[in-house]
Structure 1
Amino acid sequence: MVAWLGVISQFYTSVPAYLAKGRTLGGTLVELFSFFTIQTNTLVAVCFTAAALGSTQSAFFKRRGTLTSVAVNISIVALVFNLVLRSTYHPVGLASLSNELVHVITPALFIIYWLAFVPKDNINWKDGFSWLWYPASYLVYILMRGAICGLYPYFFLDAGKYGYPRTALNIGVLLIVFLIMDMLYIFIAKLINRYFGA
């Protein structure tokens, strides 16, 4: 419920602001879903929902590999915002609460859920490389979209402003960070499984 509240409140506070600037509803929805924060919080909400409902039809979102990958990505969301972007964004009112939900509270809840309830066996080092498909695909999409419409959701991905060589360097650094986080989570999983596994 908290995860869905965060996503829904982001749309509730952001859509009117975009429309007030003359954006179309379709363009606004595409813009919002172009934020890694929105996409990943939505994945968290879906994973929580799958766990709560226990449906076999949503088995993919209950796999330990999927849940670990999502935990990595929501951790990156929290780290990048709180270490890099927080000083550049100062929402007020409901937007402030919504911001804390998607960047602090939901990430913390999902990390706790992963630590306490997700099985840690059969998570291997090679899995960390396969988990890169999601952030890599996202980054390719952002560059393609930016080349077409000139809009970039994060300043460090703005190829129009910094040029492609600088942006490519930023992307390389980001992917290394993702891989390091993948390996950190795998290490933690192996440690937990070693000392607390069945």
Structure 2
Amino acid sequence: MTFLIIAACVIIQLVISIQGNDVLLIDEGDEAPGTARRVVNFFSFFTVQSNILLGIGAAILVRNPQADGRAFRVLRIAGLIGITVTGIVYVTLLRDLVDLEGIRAVTNVGFHYLAPVLGFFGWLLFGPWRRLDLRTVVLSLIWPVAWLVYTLIRGEVIDWYPYPFIDVTEHGYGRVLLNSAGITLIFLALGWLFLFGDRRLGDRAGSHPADDLPRAR
């Protein structure tokens, strides 16, 4: 279900973006960018990337519930942490900024409410657990750091930022870096919580990893 909801939302919203009807991809008063830029802008949203990562991890587990290996573990926890941050940031900072209607409101619910809830509770109830260590969590944080660097560099070039709290043109680098530091703390806290929960839930379920972490592929 998680994969199907995410896939439907991504496809629908991508079509809307290609058609040039997505208000999130165009700054107010500006001329609509070309199709290629709209597509790149769409995939530049952290929301979209976190949903895709979560969806890929869910699809892998549907195909093979025993899926494992270092790459899968990093993918899985990156999607889980990313989608949880997406839900938290949206509810606390972004939900009142744009009034969406129709199908865009539906995909918005899928991206920012259903995916975070399904992702977190899917992991909480079904696992897989006993798959995390500190190195895996640290590796999963490379993606959000790379996303921030990419966003700031691209924003400097084309003067477009996916979220207002990292808009350097509006706030300056000092405020943006401060905002980013605050969100980084959320990432670190969630990483620790998932690591702690992974061990406790695994112990309660009596689950044991098929192979030791250093030997995970």
* TM-score normalised by length of structure 1: 0.89
Report the Cα distance in structure 2 between the residues aligned to 1:55 and 1:187, rounded to whole angstroms: 22
**Where do 5+ consecutive residues of structure 1 fail to align?**
none
2:188 is aligned with 1:174: no
Instruction: From 35, 38, 42, give the equivalent of 1:25.
Output: 35
Report the Cα distance in structure 2 between the residues aligned to 1:180 and 1:59, rounded to whole angstroms: 24
Q: Is the 8 A contact 1:9 1:98 kept in 2?
A: yes
How far did 1:122 drift? 4.3
| Amino acid aligned to 1:50 | I
Q: Partner residue of 1:51?
A: 61
2:101 is aligned with 1:98: no
Instruction: From 107, 116, 130, give the equivalent of 1:121.
Output: 130
Report the Cα distance in structure 2 between the residues aligned to 1:39 and 1:179, rounded to whole angstroms: 19
Q: Is the 8 A contact 1:47 1:61 kept in 2?
A: no
Query: May I ask how many residue pairs the two structures share in their alignment?
Result: 197
Q: For the structure 1 residues 62 and 123, does the alpha-carbon distance in structure 2 shift closer, same or farther, using more than 3 Å as the test?
A: same
How far did 1:48 drift? 2.1
| Amino acid aligned to 1:72 | I
How far did 1:96 drift? 0.5
Q: Is the 8 A contact 1:68 1:114 kept in 2?
A: no
Q: Partner residue of 1:11?
A: 14
| Amino acid aligned to 1:197 | G
Report the Cα distance in structure 1 between the residues aligned to 2:111 and 2:80, rounded to whole angstroms: 13
* TM-score normalised by length of structure 2: 0.82
How far did 1:60 drift? 6.3
Q: For the structure 1 residues 107 and 62, does the alpha-carbon distance in structure 2 shift closer, same or farther, using more than 3 Å as the test?
A: farther
Q: Is the 8 A contact 1:3 1:101 kept in 2?
A: yes
**Where do 5+ consecutive residues of structure 2 fail to align?**
208-217
Report the Cα distance in structure 2 between the residues aligned to 1:102 and 1:47, rounded to whole angstroms: 16
| Amino acid aligned to 1:92 | E
Q: Partner residue of 1:159?
A: 168
| Amino acid aligned to 1:145 | R
How far did 1:61 drift? 9.3
Instruction: From 145, 149, 153, give the equivalent of 1:140.
Output: 149
Identity %: 26
